[in-house]
Amino acid sequence: MGVLRCDHPDIEEFIAEKANPSEFRHFNVSVMVSDAFMHAVEKDTEWPLVFEGRVYRQVRARELWHKIIDSAYHYAEPGVLFGDTINRMNNLWYREQISATNPCGEIPLPPYGACNLGAVNLTQFVSAPFTSQAALKWAELEEVVRIATRFQDNVIDISNYPLPVQREQAQGTRRIGLGLTGLADVLVMLGIRYGSAESIAFSRDIMKRIAEVTWHTSIELAQEKGVFPFFHVDYLRGEFVKTLDESIQHALAQYGVRNSHHNTIAPTGTISLLANNISNGIEPIFKPEYDRHVRLAEGMRTFRVKDYALQLWREQHAGMPPAWVDTDTLMPEAHLQIQGAMQPYIDNAISKTINIPVDFPFDKLMDVYTQAYALGLKGCTVFRPNPVTGSVLEAGSKEEAPPVDHCCPYEE
């Protein structure tokens, strides 16, 4: 991810780059904003642009904020990272100052840090889907989370790293990011509408359960193999660690922990396709059926794909599932509430895109970002269709396309 501080002298030029169709086309960018900047926006005060201790000029904080959001409105970038929230809640607060993230924003990283991502496919843990007896198989889910935690810890040791300093960082922190995918499909299978109070409570519960199992497994690994090399007693004083269940905090004080960080929500776009096009990450279902544009060696190719939950429903039913909801019918507040419910249990970050329609009012978009900040989120990204950035996903035409299980068959 290309990240620039909100007080950098080049910040206005950086924000404007996405308006140029030939610049940064395959390069995600975000602005790292601080608490001080958000307060300056609220009060509409002057904001200094500084580099190496020298103030180059002053700008109006609210005008700069307007430019950031205007670019996001018209070109889908830059995203916004809330830097002080990221650093305040960083488990390695005693030795790191985070200034950037991995390409999609779900893992804040120090210089030369490496992300180690995994996601549990929630759709495989639903019994009796679409019935009044539909339920999540919690015990099976927890067992898979234990295995995945150990798996990702092993990945750290067997991976190849381009630079020795990257190996040092990865093996020194033993950072992992275990998350989930298929949330929206699972909600439909359980008869819960995405964005409802019940869906928010369910999202909170499932992330809490996954996080607690991950932490307990990492503590078990510390007893078996030792704590991560950069562990220090100050770890126990971290703001995030202090929010953990008392049983976890007690075990941490007694045994330490194998991994510095544990959970995240990644976009999981590609791996969700390989799971027969389940809904990705914690995103709502995009459309019942849509076209996906894939860049192949011979050029772009378009595939028609259908959502996994809908395919499962159509095996025995006509029409749409009762709890069906997709991006067309969701307001940004629903996205934010789901993300906000899960963030307290995630020590890395969440990659989440809020899809908004073309006619969404600009003034309301400004409110989306301030709500994200108030909820304690570590980042916020929106996507409004526009001709410059185009779209990987588009609502499909009525014409039939060649049937495929998903858009990326293994042979391709």
Q: Which residues are catalytic?
A: 102, 104, 106
Report d(CA 185, CA 167) in Å as an integer. 37
Phi, psi of 177 (to 5 degrees): -135, 90
Residue 396 is classified by DSSP as: P
In whole angstroms, how far apart are CA 347 and each of 72, 123, 234, 357, 381? 26, 24, 16, 31, 19
Our measurement of the distance from residue 1's CA atom to the centroid of its chain's CA atoms, rounded to an integer in Å, reads: 13
In whole angstroms, what is the distance from residue 180 CA to residue 229 CA?
27
Angle at 85 between CA 7 and CA 73, to 5 degrees: 60
Residue 52's identity, in one-letter code, is: E
Contact assessment for residue 383 and residue 356, using Cβ atoms and an 8 Å cutoff: yes
In the three-class reduction of DSSP (H, G, I as helix; E, B as strand; rest coil), residue 163 is classed as coil
**130 Rama sector, left if φ>0, alpha if ψ -120 to 50, beta otherwise:** left
Query: Distance between CA atoms of 175 and 117, rounded to whole angstroms?
Result: 10
Among the listed residues 112, 254, 250, the one whose alpha carbon sits nearest the alpha carbon of residue 173 = 112
Find all residues with CB under 8 Å of 306, minimum gap 6, and list them: 277, 288, 289
Alpha carbons within 13 A on the beta-carbon side of 339? 31
CA 172 to chain centre: 24
Q: Which residue has the tokens 């093996």?
A: 171
Query: What is the C-alpha to C-alpha distance for residues 290 and 338, in angstroms, rounded to an integer?
Result: 24
Q: How far apart are the first and last CA of the chain?
A: 28
d(C-alpha 322, C-alpha 320), whole Å: 6
State how far the Cα of 331 lies from the Cα of 9, in Å rounded to an integer. 35
Q: What does the alpha-carbon distance between residue 169 and residue 111 come to, in Å, rounded to a whole number? A: 9
